[in-house]
Amino acid sequence: MPRPHRHTLRRRGLGPLGLVVLMLCCAVGALVPGRLAAQGADFATLVADRLFLDGPERLIAEGNVEALFGTTRLQARRVVYDRGTDALRIEGPIVLNEGEEIVILAEAAEMSASLRRGLIRSAQVVIDQQLQIAAHSVERRDERFTEMNAVVASSCEICANSPTPLWEIRARRVVHDEAEQQVYFDNAQFRLFGLPVAYVPRLRVPDPRLERATGWLAPRLSFDTGHGVGLRAPYFIVLGPDRDLTLTPYLASKGTRALDLRYRQAFASGMLEFGGLIARDQIRPGRTRGVAYLEGDFALGRGYRLSFNLIQPSDREVLEDYNRGVSRLTSDITLERIQRDTRARVQLLQFRSLRLDDDNRILPNRVGQAVFERRMDVPGIGGVAAFRLEAHLHQRRRAMGAMGLPAPTPDRADGPRPREMSRLSLDLGWRRDAVLPMGVLGAVGLDLGVDHFRLSDTGGVFPRSATRVSPQMMAELRWPLVRNTGNGVSHVIEPVAQVVWGRNRLLDLPHEESRMPELDGGNLFATNRFASREMREGGLRANLGVSWTRHAPEGWSSTLTLGRVWRERDLEQFSDATPLSGGQSDWLVGVSLGTEDGLLLSNRMLITSDLRVQRTALELDWVAEDYTISTSYMRIIGNPFEARARTASEWSFEGTRDIDEFWTARVGWRYDIAQRRAARAMVGLEYENECLRMAMGVERRFASISSPRAQTSLGLNIDILGIGGNPSRNRRACSEM
């Protein structure tokens, strides 16, 4: 089957014969019945090398004939119109274009004058430049149905040096339903590499233009140590133009019987999706396991938006056992409105840990909060004022005694964890930026924070209620210095000095939301580095830093950042092992490098005063023409206050390599350097051409804190391209193969 081409109507001048052609066209108007003109099926344009009348009943066009019948375009060697039978006899080679999506190539045809009905011999039908159907004959019954006999169908390229496609469907009879965009095969035989692998008495597949149709999707074959050899066969059900349902039964050799369900519906104002999994297996014999979820996002009008994401598993390990592994789940319902100068949000959250050593009864996993923020310009003195009001409540199912704490805490936060803690916080702020002489950028700011707390079940260690007032003042100077060299390289050096004053008086309250304060380039010049208003950074302190950026005309760019926090005295707000503890914080060192050929390198380190690396995070990404590399290294010193008893260190790697135009190899791993053991390893191979996508891989997941069992899985996925809204790749010319 040769490669089809899109054909457009070409108008050729006939030179001295133009007058003769015009007269003949007038004669055609007399010969062709008035019905054709009335229905718009007459020749809107007819061009040929020769056009003449053969008696009173026949019109003949010969040599490079091109004709347009409404949206149908015809190209042929010779066309004969017989008035008596109101039919066309067409001699090829024939190219018949139905709009922009269907092309028929044939040797000969006998059709009605409107080209809506007829018989086409030795034809090839190409749908949307993807699915090709070669048939001994094609019979057009009407505008909707086309019947083909002795058919071979495929979306693969077929050339003289490779006449056998990767896959093909042979059938005795095929009917194409143009209205429903479906292709029906009778006595179908599916072949791979020319060898028959399946026989189906009746087969229905959507044509390439149809994106949604009820039917079976591509099956998935897998193997893992928990379930054995398994098969997933998704069945997609169209319930309407705005909703659908997908049912995926899963059967495995070790007794697993599962059903995965997903329902989706689109609305004028948003979307809704819910589903889940129900299963019986031998991993936990005699128990029905599963997970349910609900997601939605809706615009309510006047700028308000409602979103929700709810998930509930039956046990800690069900998500890991069915390849949905996560260590913590978050469910939320959020009502939010964001405008240029205001933001309002009401949110309910529930956290659930799947880690084996976490007890969800004592985790503060039920949270409610409401936030309203507004900013405005200040007339007279200038600058921008900000207002923020927040209400927060979190609960645990039972109080947590001091002996049950997961880790020691700083002195001011020592004691039991209350069952319930509520907070109302008010923030008033003002900031003004200005450009000073010599290009210096200056800023001053004022902040006032008021927090009221109520606690329950404190065991007498903490007060039942408390109010805290936290004023702050800030002054900041930046001096960006720019230098351009003669070879086009530019350098930007920007030293920054920020002084912040806050009250030294602190409340004796438990740390609940702010147990993991961080120091990085994003908060080096922040006035408060705690995650919430539960804690506020106090005291007199100076945030100092400098950054250097280099840009080269060849596309290279690099950045170096150095910074540190100095305090007048240590208020013991941060635990000893955190980078912000003590009178001086750790040194923050950040380096990044980017090149024109796709290399991106970044590294952030926190270094103590005695030059010990406290934390480091290195990332390297390289996207080249035929390979990609993504690798990272992370090391964090142990900190019991952050629920990390030992030093954590891990190296991960993901890489792909294009073997040739069709084959791609993948490899990846995660290695726990601190524990000296692998966490995950994967190797895979992918193949994709214009008609077939295939992926196979092996993955090994080792035992971890969230999964006590190691698991090995092998997967094989095959997608047939070119049918049912699964588009094929760009097609190649046969000379390229």
pLDDT score for 25: 41
The domain locations on the chain are: 15-205
pLDDT score for 26: 36
Q: What is the pLDDT of residues 417-447, one digit of tens each?
A: 677 889 999 999 999 999 999 999 999 999 9
Question: Is residue 30's pLDDT more than 70?
Answer: no
> What's the mean per-residue pLDDT of the chain?
85
Residue 68's alpha-carbon distances to 102, 114, 135, 318, 584, in angstroms, are: 15, 10, 25, 62, 83
Residue where the block lists tokens 């020592």? 414
**Average of per-residue pLDDT across 513-531:** 89
Q: What is the pLDDT of residues 588-613, one digit of tens each?
A: 999 999 998 899 999 999 999 989 99
Percentage of the chain surpassing pLDDT 90? Answer: 48
Instruction: Give the span between the Cα atoms of 421 and 408, in whole angstroms.
Output: 20
pLDDT score for 43: 54
Question: Is residue 162's pLDDT more than 90?
Answer: no
CB neighbour list of residue 644: distance below 8 Å, 6 or more residues apart: 636, 638
pLDDT: which is higher, 348 or 87: 348
Q: What is the pLDDT of residues 118-159, one digit of tens each?
A: 888 888 888 888 888 899 999 988 878 889 999 999 888 876
Of 362-371, 502-511, 611-620, 630-639, the range with the lowest mean pLDDT is: 502-511
pLDDT score for 181: 86
CB neighbour list of residue 30: distance below 8 Å, 6 or more residues apart: none
Do residues 425 and 416 touch, judged by C-beta distance below 8 A? no
Residue where the block lists tokens 């990044």? 592
Residue 173's alpha-carbon distances to 185, 187, 205, 490, in angstroms, are: 6, 7, 14, 70
Q: What is the pLDDT of residues 170-192, one digit of tens each?
A: 999 999 998 888 889 999 999 98
Q: Alpha carbon 720 to chain centroid distance?
A: 22
The amino acid at 221: L
β-bridge pairing 243-252 and 235-240: antiparallel
Question: Is residue 37's pLDDT more than 70?
Answer: no
Q: What is the pLDDT of residues 351-404, one digit of tens each?
A: 988 887 778 888 888 999 999 999 999 998 999 999 999 999 998 887 665 444
pLDDT score for 10: 33
pLDDT score for 618: 96
The pTM assigned to this predicted structure is 0.79
Sign of CA dihedral 112, 118, 123, 128: positive
Q: Six-digit token pair at 178?
A: 């143009």
Write the burial class of residue 48 (CB in 10 Å: 0-12 exposed, 13-18 middle, 19+ buried): buried
The CA-to-CA distance between both ends of the chain, in Å, stands at 15
Q: What is the pLDDT of residues 283-337, one digit of tens each?
A: 899 899 999 999 999 999 999 999 999 999 998 889 888 988 777 899 999 999 9
pLDDT score for 731: 60
Which pLDDT band holds residue 654 (cuts at 50, 70, 90)? very high
CB neighbour list of residue 132: distance below 8 Å, 6 or more residues apart: 1, 4, 124, 125, 126, 153, 154, 155, 158
**Average of per-residue pLDDT across 195-212:** 86
DSSP letters of 315-370? STTHHHHTT---SEEEEEEEEEEE-SSEEEEEEEEEEEE--TT--TTTS--EEEEE
Of 40-44, 611-615, 620-624, the range with the lowest mean pLDDT is: 40-44
**Average of per-residue pLDDT across 670-699:** 91
Closest CA to 19 of 56, 51, 61: 51
pLDDT score for 622: 95
Do residues 331 and 309 touch, judged by C-beta distance below 8 A? yes
Task: Tally the C-alpha atoms within 13 A of residue 462's C-alpha that lie toward its C-beta.
Answer: 28
pLDDT score for 210: 82
Instruction: Give the span between the Cα atoms of 173 and 184, in whole angstroms.
Output: 8
Phi, psi angles (nearest 5°) of residue 450 = -125, 125
**Average of per-residue pLDDT across 672-679:** 89
Q: What is the pLDDT of residues 273-291, one digit of tens each?
A: 999 999 999 989 989 999 9
Write the burial class of residue 103 (CB in 10 Å: 0-12 exposed, 13-18 middle, 19+ buried): buried
